[in-house]
A and B are shown apart, each in its own frame.
Chain A
Amino acid sequence: MSMIVQSILTGIIMGCIFSLIATGLALIWGVVEIVNFAHGSFMMLGMYIAYFMSTLLGIDPVLSVPLCAVVLFLWGSASYKIVVTRLLKGKLLMQIFGTFGLMMAMDYGAMAIWSPNYRVLENTWFSGSIEIGGYYFGEGQLIASFVSLIVLGLVTVFLLHTKTGKALRASADDKVAAVTVGIDSEKMYTYAWGIGSACVGVAGALMTNFFYIQPQVGMIFTFFAFICVALAGFGRIKGIIVAGLMIGVIRAVSGFLIAPWTKDVAIFVIFIIILLLRPQGLFMGK
């Protein structure tokens, strides 16, 4: 029994990180109306940055977080400017295919440069585990979920209380109206891609404390992020956090109850069932 509680708690902690990844995707999806299939690859990039900062310069992954945010912001906005603007003029099919190509180019480019080998960071500041009330937690996971929540808070404040944030939300709600009141939609799209990518890059940097680093690590996180957003519906960071926690818990518990490899299968099956029953998402009205 206590093992189940343990896996639920572990799941909740992982769920916070999923929420951050999903928020990045939701921002891009909501504002630009395109699903970035390369989302997980952006995370992979963040992981490699943190990895090399640590191994080459001895800078701890937690300290690499701001750098990852900046680099991924630039990478995300550049991807938007170079590739996505053009894709948006085409059909949905080519939009999906285009960001999918971006994913392949990034993943296999990383494989060509850094080899397909799995890498692990050791001896970081947060690499041990601690006991709280009879339950054990990885320090890396704890600090990652803690920082994720802080970043989520910052993003929320930014969206609710700054001028740019309000403009972003306005573009997400109603594009035509946003343009008529003088919001530069092109600029908003670039911001959305930048900030969305920065979110997932931060998550990547934080995860290097306890997760392996490999060129194709990202794809499964793209699924998680997509499932979170699909379950939560748009424009609701609260909903995304709940969905993220749910996915974290389902993963951990099914991995414990059935077999470790069934984690991702269980999430997929539950996702399909929810799609059948409530195609509009769990927390949307109607």
Chain B
Amino acid sequence: MDKITLSSMLEKSREKRISVLLITIALLVLAVIPFIINNDFTLSIFIWIFVYIILGSAWNLVGGYTGQIALAHGVFVAIGAYSAAVLPKYYGITPWLAFIIAPLIAACVGFAISYPTLKLKGHYFAMTTLAFGFVTWKVFLHWDYINGAAGLNIPFKPSFSAMIFSTPDIMYYLSFILAAGTIVLFYIIDRSKLGMYLKSINQDEESAENRGINVHKYKVYAMTLSAAITSIGGVIFAQYVLFVDPNLFMEGSLMSIRIALIAIVGGLGTVLGPILGAFVMIPLEEYTRAFLGGLGRGYSLFIYGIVIIVIAMYWPKGLADIIYRIEKKIKGVYHGRSK
């Protein structure tokens, strides 16, 4: 609709400059935070935010862009975390290699679970992934190789090759860089042909099929890629917590839900969504846990359930929608004045 005139092009480049400026400021602030804050609790919250930006963005590819509810991402986190724990323990290999091995395993699993189920309606995929998470949890609990329900400890011996650091700020930067990389990757995907295909599948599967898009192929592709990236978050998880057990990742599918919720609260199918979601949800959860912890687990998770119902009923577009609306309004005012 907009005619391409010199002034509109100038406006565009100006908008672009503003957003580049904003992003640079945000990056700089985040980069100097470890110098300003010496509080380990606050730093740990930031590390979790970065980890969940990776996880939420990865889920967003399946849940947001493609519109398929996957409820087994905790399993892929577990694959990453267990790879990081098992490689040095049993094979004397540096956990850095887990950044390659874990995504490969996770991609295979993601492919295997999504290939048969994504041919069918959305319910099948959601329920099968949920059941898959449950079953994998059971298997992990009884699997001697990974020490079953007792879990695995990663001995705290700080060194670069063990990917364990004596101070949390190096972990902060590592997770920060990975989160930034994930965001850039999804920004590229968002603008690529793949992103467009996925969005059109989400909007109307039949018409996407009619336009010659192989719907099943792209859905499986999204799930496979998403699983691989999710496992990278798992590697960081293990190296930061230095302990893995099946309940951490798969009990009651809670982690899978948290990952999904971060993308949903933030805004489905947007690059910005999981970032906003993680920045809002993780601190909120950490503080409510400190606050409601005394009441017992049931209460906080009950509230979690109610929140999910309310979001599903009244607020499916998430936080990003508010930002975009404000942005539109500002632009509207701006254009109004210039004309």
Contact = CB atoms under 8 A, between A and B. Distances in A.
Contacts of A116: 297-298
Contacts of A91: 67, 316
B297 A97 contact: no
Nearest to A98: B312
Contacts, number: 144
Nearest to A95: B312
A101 interface: yes
Given A100-B308, A101-B308, A108-B304, A279 B119 contact: yes
Given A93-B67, A94-B312, A95-B312, A272 B304 contact: no
A98 B308 CA distance: 6
B123 interface: yes
Interface stretch (A121-129, A146-154, A167-175, A261-269): A261-269
A276 B128 CA distance: 13
B264 interface: yes
Interface size of B as a range: 35 or more
A83 B309 contact: yes
Contacts of B310: 101
Nearest to B124: A230
A105 B309 contact: yes
A279 B116 contact: yes
Interface in B284-339: 295-299, 301-302, 304-314, 316
A261 B131 CA distance: 15
Interface in B73-131: 113, 115-117, 119-124, 126-128, 130-131
B252 interface: yes
B305 A92 contact: no
A86 B309 CA distance: 10
B268 to A, nearest CB: 8
Contacts of A98: 308-309, 312-313
B311 to A, nearest CB: 8
Which interface residue of B116, B142, B309 has the most chain A CB atoms within 10 A? Answer: B309
Interface in A219-248: 219-220, 222-223, 226-227, 230
Contacts of A223: 127, 130-131, 134
B252 A216 contact: yes
Contacts of A29: 123
Contact of A104 (B113, B119, B138, B308): B308
B301 A94 contact: no
B189 interface: no
Contact of A35 (B123, B260, B268, B297): B123
A100 to B, nearest CB: 7
Given A106-B305, A219-B134, A261-B138, A96 B122 contact: yes
Contacts of B196: none
B305 A104 contact: yes
Interface string B123-149: 110111011101100110110000000
B163 interface: no
A109 interface: yes
B135 A264 contact: yes
A215 B298 CA distance: 10
Interface of A: 29, 35, 37, 83, 86-87, 90-98, 100-113, 115-116, 215-216, 219-220, 222-223, 226-227, 230, 259, 261, 264-265, 268, 271-272, 275-276, 279
30 contacts: A35-B123, A86-B313, A90-B316, A92-B121, A93-B69, A93-B316, A97-B69, A98-B312, A101-B309, A101-B310, A101-B312, A105-B305, A107-B305, A108-B305, A111-B297, A111-B298, A111-B301, A112-B298, A112-B302, A115-B298, A216-B252, A219-B252, A223-B131, A226-B127, A230-B124, A261-B138, A264-B138, A265-B135, A268-B131, A275-B116
